[in-house]
Amino acid sequence: MLTFLIRRILYVVPIAIGVTFFVFSLVHLAPGDPLSAVVAGDAPREVVDMLRAAYGFDQPMIVQYLRWVARALSGDLGRSLATGRPVAAEMFAAIGNSVLLAFLAAAIGFTLGAILGGIAGYAQSSWLDKLASLIAILGVSVPHYWLGMVLVILFSVNMNALPAIGIGPAGSAFWLWTRTDWSHAILPAVTLSVIPMGIVTRTVRATVAETLAMEFVQALKAKGLPGHAVLLHVVRNVAPVCLAVMGLQFGYLLGGSILVETVFSWPGTGFLLNDAIFRRDIPMLQGVILVLAMFFVLLNLLVDIVQTLVDPRIRRG
C-alpha cells in the first residue's frame, strides 16, 4: 500500500510540471499586449515600457517562466495587472467562496443523483426509471446559465423571495452562517448542482443495473440474504465507480463556474477568471488556472487513494 501511495504521489510531480508549462504557454499564446488592458490607448510609450519592465514582460519567455515557477513555489503568484493586488490573496478569497458553493452544489447534486440513480437502477424500465432518466438528461442538457436566469426571474424578480446577486448583504469577504447569507447561496447552488446531479444519476443507474445483473448478487439472494444486506454488497461494488465520477465532478465544481458565478455575481474563482480574461490580467489568469489545475490533480490523487481503500483490486492492479 505504501509503495502504491509513494508511486502515485510521485506521478504528481511530472503532471505538475506539465501543468505549469501549459498554463504559462497558453496564456502567453493569446495575441496582443498584456499591458493593453491596464494602459490607455495613448499612454506614453516610455510609461508602457516602464510597466513592461516592472512586470517582467520585457524578459525572454523562458526567463519569465522560470521566474514565475520559482515565485509560485514560494507561494508568490505575483500581482494582478488590473488591480495591483497580490494574486494569491485575491485568489484564496475567491476560492473560499467557490469551495462553499461547490460543497452546497455537491451536497444537492450528489444526494439527488445517488437517490435518483439508485432508484432508476433498481427499478429498471419502470416509470420511476424513466422519470429519473428524464431528470438526469434534463440536468446535463439544460444550459445552467439559462437555468440561473430563469430562477432569478422566478424567485428574485417575480416573487422577491431570494436575492439575485452577491454572496451576502454585508459584502464581507467571507460567507457568514446567517439566514440572509444562506438565502444568497440557494439559487447559485441549485443552478450549479443540476449538471453533477444528472451525471451522477446516470452513472449510479448504469452501475447499479450492471452490478445487480452480476452472478454474485444472484448467489447472495440464493443464500437467502435479506434485501438490505444484498444492497450493502451492491453499494460496495458500485462505490468505486461513483466515487471516481463524483470526484471529477467535485473538481469541476471547485473550479467555479464562470457562467453561474457571473449570472449571480458570486465572487468566486469563476467570476475572478471571467474578469481576468476580459481584462487580460495575465498574472491573475496564470495564478488562478495553476491553482485550479493543481486542485484537480490533487483531487484525482485523493480519489485514487480512496478508491484503493474501498476496492483492494485496484491496489493489486
Cβ–Cβ contacts within 10 Å for residue 122, how many? 16
Only segment of 202-210, 212-220, 245-253, 272-280 that touches another protein (CB under 8 A): 272-280
From 159, 215, 222, 317, residue interacting with another protein (rule: CB under 8 A): 159
Q: Which of 40, 62, 73, 222 binds another protein (CB under 8 A)?
A: 40
Residue type, 116: L
Applying CB under 8 A, the span of 124-132, 135-143, 160-168, 228-236 interacting with another protein comes to 160-168
* Position 262, amino acid: T
CA-to-CA distance for 72 and 253, rounded, in angstroms?
24
Which residues in the 197-226 window bind another protein by CB under 8 A?
A: none
Report in angstroms how near the CB of residue 129 gets to another protein at its nearest. Answer: 24
Footprint of another protein on residues 172-191 (CB under 8 A)?
172-173, 179-180, 183-184
Report the amino acid identity of residue 67.
R
Q: Is 167 in the site for another protein (CB under 8 A)?
A: yes
User: Residue 231 interacts with another protein (CB under 8 A)?
Assistant: no
Is residue 192 within the footprint of another protein (CB under 8 A)? no
32 belongs to the binding site for another protein (CB under 8 A): yes
Size of the site for another protein (CB under 8 A): 59
The residue from 153, 213, 302, 309 that contacts another protein (CB under 8 A) is: 153
C-alpha cell at 295: 486542485
Residue 280 contacts another protein per CB under 8 A:
yes
- 284: burial class by Cβ within 10 Å (0-12, 13-18, 19+)? buried
Binding site for another protein (CB under 8 A): 31-33, 35-45, 47-48, 50-51, 54, 82-85, 90, 93, 149, 152-153, 156-157, 159-167, 169, 171-173, 179-180, 183-184, 262-265, 267, 271-272, 274-275, 278-280
